[in-house]
Structures are given as structure tokens and as C-alpha cells.
Structure 1
Amino acid sequence: MSIVVVVLCTVFGMILSSMAGYYICQLRKAKIKAAQQENSVYTASNEASKDGNIELPYFDLDTIFAATDKLSLGNKIGEGGFGPVYKGELLNGQEIAVKRLSQSSGQGIQEFKNEVCLIAKLQHRNLVKLLGCCIQGEERLLIYEFLPNKSLDNFIFDQTRKKLLPWIKRFNIIVGIARGLLYLHEDSRLRIIHRDLKASNVLLDNEMYPKISDFGIARIFGGEQTEDKTKRVMGTYGYMSPEYAMSGHFSVKSDVFSFGVLVLEIISGKKNWGFYHPEHDLNLIGHAWRLWNNQTPLELMDKELNETFSEDEVVRCIQVGLLCVQQRTEDRPTMSAVVFMLSNESAVIQQPKEPGFCVETFSLKIELSSGRHTSSTANDVTITALAGR
């Protein structure tokens, strides 16, 4: 009997020792993994500092989870091409917007770091402010200032909320976007081409002043460089310039084209892509061009804009918008010229030439990078192209 007890005790002791050893081993692995995750944050910080000499706060994941209730569905406020956006509140009471990079999105770690480094260097009232980021484990998070009115498309394309944007506010939004783009092209330390300017990438603050956001596919130019070419065309239906969509050639003038489309959308309250008119098959650009040639440009105005406004100011904005969407890049104005024309009633403005992408259609392979209802895969896309009238 005593021998059985001894054997059982020995076996039991061996089991306990094995369990203790396994527990200690797992604990060590957990500590190593945690250390690696923590180190990844500092590594990312150091890499960003080396690349751009920036000092940007890095938030740990627990802080973001606490602020957003673990990125709960109830705190979700939007969905972009690269992933969802959540509202949160830090312990000090500051409200934040957290952009979470989707693992299935077209934006990889390089695009993520690109956006971090870019925005951290930019300081302008018409650009969204980046507060920090989080790179921990599989999570890639960008933390922005929270803007309660969300994006411009939530207003100008909504039959109810567009009434909250009278002409004076729309004009201020147009000018604000122009000033933000001018800063990117000419006034910042870097020359930056946004490449995805659109209504959903313009956020509105408490007073409805615009802030350009989402720099995931933006490109930095050094020195006197103003243009480049890519084999990977990334952008959004209806906003891409002809030379960019067709050959991958982009420049400051491709941003100008996108701005022109945005101006026409703000004035009309209609989307360029998917625009419908019972009398023709033109898109919004083509429709605006037709009205201009018929000398009835004010017919482009949103029917909700029935308050008092300056007709000359509206016509001037339409004319500037049409100048920006001209077919040839050399015919489009720079953003400094755009700001001058918008801000000076006495400015002499030349007559626009035919715009690009307004009449005929053809199929084109494009890789989408953003947009609310798009993915990052190659698609057959129908795009309107120029045809003389």
C-alpha cells in the first residue's frame, strides 16, 4: 500500500511540475509578445522620426479601446475605402475620431506611414489635424481631431441637410478648400499632391469651415518637381483628371481638376458621377459646360439655394470650376490663381475651354483606392471623355 502511495505522489508531483513549467513557459511567451508589440510602437515612432523628423504622439491600444468602447459598432461614425472611423473620448474629455485600417483594404503599412508622416508635418486651418497614431500588433489606427459635422457629402448630397448650407456657407467652403489645396501645392515645406480630393474627404467643423482629410495616397514632391507618373492609378470615380485616369500621369493640375469637379458639385448639390438629366446623357461637368455655352450658368445652382445671393459671385465660381476641369493640364489655373480669382470681384477671368471627361464613354481599367462603395481591386469603369460639340 505504501508503495502505491509513493508512486501516486511521485506521478502527481511530476504532473504538477509539468503544469508549472508549462505555465511559466506560456507566461514568458506572453511577456515576449507584449514586449515585441510594445517595441513595434517605438520602432514605428523611430522610423517615422528618421523619415520625416517628426514628433507625433503614439497612443497605446488600451487607451484607444477605452476611448471608443473597444471600437464598438455604436461608436462607428463612418466608413472609408481603407476602413471604418469611430468616435471616441479620451480621459481628459477630448473628443477624437479614430480611423482603423482594414486588413482587407488597399492601404498597406506604407500608405499608413505615408499618411502619418504627411499630416504630422502639415499645419493649416483648412487641413484636418492629426493627433497621433497607434501601431500595435495587427492594429493600424490614426487619431484625428473630431469634427462633429462629418464630411461635406453628408450635406450637399442630402435633400434635407443641404438646406443647412446657404450660398454664403458654400462659398466659404469653396474658398477654404482652395486655400487648403494652395497650402499643399505651394505654401507648405513640402509640395504635396493629394490625389483623392472629393466631397467625402472634406470635413466640416462646428462653424462649417472645411478641412481636407485622408492623405493615404498623397505624394510628396521635392525641389521644383510638380509632376510624376504611376502604373497604379488610385482614386475615385468622377474626380480623376483625364491624364491621370488614362495614363497614370499626375501633377498639381490633377488636384486642380478634382477641385473643379468639387466646386460644381457644391454649387449644384449634384454628384458628377451618376448625374442624370432628362434632356441629355452628359455628366455634371458636361451639363455645366452646356449651360455655360447657352449663357444660362445660373441654372446649375441647387434649387434649395433660394435665399439672397450675388449672381456675379455664383457665376464667377462656376467659371473658375470650369477653368479647373479643362481637358489640357496647361489650360488649368494654379491654385494660387484660383484663390485670387475667387477672392477678388474685380479679377479678370478668361473664358474656359472644353472640359475633359464630359460626353462620350469608354471602358478603362482602374485600381480603386478609396470611396464609400468601392474596393481596392481592379474594375472595369465607365468614364466620360471629351468630345467636341
Structure 2
Amino acid sequence: MLVYQFMPNRSLDFYLFDLIRRHVLDWRKRVHIIEDFGMAKLFRKDELEAKTKRIMGTYGYIPPEYVRKGLYSMKYDVYSFGVVLLQIISGKRNTSYYGTYENLSILEYAFELWLEGQGMEFIDPSLDDSTSSCKLLQCLQVALLCVQENPVDRPSMLEVSSMLKNEMEAIRLPKRPAFSIKKNEKHEDGSSQQEKFSINDASFTQMAPR
């Protein structure tokens, strides 16, 4: 049995929408404690990755390889982080649709605006990065890299941290995000904007502290 200390500010469920907020407890000084360990039960101590028979997780934060094949790896966390980051910088719900015809998920809507050079339209206007080294458009690009269709194309969380801290000279261009309703498109260099996921080219990151 797990026993938690009293959290006077309750959970983030009281303050935020659309996140897995009931799993994050809020201490008086805004120190957050994540209290859900459901996914940890999928692994034995000697396993580096897992294949599950039952899909676990919250809709909208689950990557395509897990939905389609039940494959779980460290790149699952990267995908989920990318979705959360998009929500943070936009203030938009993950369960709503956007765009001219209101048929785009938050992932596709962010990508389309970024592709058209209009990324600032996606950003919550109340946010100001003028005094921060972590720029909002850079956060948008990093988030789009995290939600790539193919897990091989997603960065590791260590790389994500480096990109957000401006420790990398260049950030690569994202491809079309997962679960996109649009067909494949080409970059100027001829590479595909979207690649179908294949179990043969899935990459599983070693289970190590990040």
C-alpha cells in the first residue's frame, strides 16, 4: 500500500484541464508529485521493453505503435511529453479539433501552422518568451519532433532536454505527426513528410535514468 503525505493544494485536476491531472499532486509551494505507477507494472525487472495485450493509458497521449501493436518503450514517454508540451504552449485542449474546417487534431494543427511559417498563431498570446532562453517557437518544433509517427524519428528525452536548453547547434525538421489524416507530402529535399510505422524499424531505448 502506498501512503502519500497530505497535499494541501489537492491535485492538478482542480486547476488544469485535459491533462492526466489526477495523477499529479500539488504541494503548498507548487512542488508536484506524480503518483501513478500503472505503466510500471507492465515490465519485469529484467525487461527493456514490453508488448502488452491490453492498451493502457489516456487517449490522445498514446503513440501509434502502442495503439496498433501494443509495443511500449521509452519513446512512449517522448510522444506523451510532446503532446503535453503542445498543450502548454498553446493553451488548447487535446480533445478538440482545429483549423479552417475544424478537422485537425492539435498535433496536425500545430504542424500545419509551423509548416506555413505561422507558428506564433498556435502559441497562447498570453505567453512571453522575451526574457527566456527557451523560445516558444523552438518549443513548438521540439514538441513536433516528439510526436513523430515513427518512434525512430523521435528524439530521446536527453536530446529533448538539450534542445530546450539550447545545448544543440541545430534542431532537425519534424515530419508530419502521428495519426495524421493527410497524405504523404514531400520536403524540398524530396524526403517523405510521413512514413508508415513498421514493427521492423521500431527503436527501443535502453531502460536507464533520464
TM-score (norm 1): 0.42
What's the offset of the Cα at 1:321?
0.8
Using CA pairs under 8 Å that are at least 6 residues apart, name the structure with larger relative contact order, 1 or 2. Answer: 2
Structure 2 partner of 1:327: 149
What's the offset of the Cα at 1:289?
0.7
Structure 1 partner of 2:8: 148
SS of 1:344's equivalent in the other structure is coil
Structure 1 partner of 2:43: 220
SS of 1:357's equivalent in the other structure is coil
Q: Deviations over 1:109-161 (max 9, x none)?
A: xxxxxxxxxxxxxxxxxxxxxxxx3xxxxxxxx42133333444543439xxx
Q: Deviations over 1:263-297 (max 9, x none)?
A: 11111112212334454301111111111101111
Rounded to whole Å, the distance in 1 between the matches of 2:175 and 2:59 is 22
Higher helix share: 1
Q: 1:233-244 maps to which residues of 2 (within 5 A)? A: 233-244=55-66
The Cα RMSD (Å) is 2.8
Q: Deviations over 1:286-332 (max 9, x none)?
A: 11111110111122222433685549611121111111100001111
Higher strand share: 1
Q: Answer yes or no: is 1:253 the counterpart of 2:75.
A: yes
In the alignment, residue 344 of structure 1 is paired with which amino acid? N
Rounded to whole Å, the distance in 2 between the matches of 1:324 and 1:254 is 9
Which of 264, 270, 273 in structure 1 is aligned with 2:86? 264
Listed as ranges, the gaps of 5+ residues in structure 1 are 1-132, 134-141, 159-196, 361-386
Q: Count how many residue pairs are aligned between Structure 1 and Structure 2.
A: 184
TM-score (norm 2): 0.74
Q: 1:253-292 maps to which residues of 2 (within 5 A)? A: 253-292=75-114
Q: Deviations over 1:55-103 (max 9, x none)?
A: xxxxxxxxxxxxxxxxxxxxxxxxxxxxxxxxxxxxxxxxxxxxxxxxx
Rounded to whole Å, the distance in 1 between the matches of 2:170 and 2:146 is 16
Q: 1:64-83 maps to which residues of 2 (within 5 A)? A: none
Which of 216, 231, 244 in structure 1 is aligned with 2:53? 231
Greater gyration radius: 1
In the alignment, residue 281 of structure 1 is paired with which amino acid? N
Q: 1:186-201 maps to which residues of 2 (within 5 A)? A: 198-201=20-23
Q: 1:205 to 1:266 in 2, by over 3 A?
A: farther
Rounded to whole Å, the distance in 2 between the matches of 1:323 and 1:307 is 20
